[in-house]
């Protein structure tokens, strides 16, 4: 283990178990490893002419 790695502590009867924590986030490569479709990168029109809140345009 490294100094900055996250760990999981488990109290079980008379012992404490220290395990490396599982990552709750997947990398981009992990998310799309089984993706077999085409990627269509294009601009999308949301149909909004003017800002509706305090967003900056």
Helix count and strand count (H, E) for the chain:
1, 2
| Per-residue confidence (pLDDT) for residue 31, from 0 to 100 | 87
The answer to whether residue 29 is domain-embedded is yes
Kindly state whether residue 34 falls inside one of the protein's structural domains: yes
What is the span of the domain harbouring residue 13?
1-38
Does a structural domain hold residue 52? no
Phi, psi of 11 (to 5 degrees): -95, 115
- Beta-bridge partner residues of 10: 17
- For residue 20, is it within any domain? yes
Indicate whether 57 belongs to any domain: no
What are the tens digits of pLDDT across the range 6-56?
889 999 989 999 998 887 778 888 888 888 888 888 888 888 777 778 877
Number of domains in the chain: 1
């Amino acid at each position: 283990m490294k100094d900055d790695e996250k760990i999981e502590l488990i109290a079980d009867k008379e012992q404490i178990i220290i395990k490396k924590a599982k990552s709750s986030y997947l990398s981009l490569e992990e998310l799309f490893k089984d993706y077999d479709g085409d990627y269509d990168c294009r601009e999308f029109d949301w149909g909004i002419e003017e800002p509706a809140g305090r967003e900056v345009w």
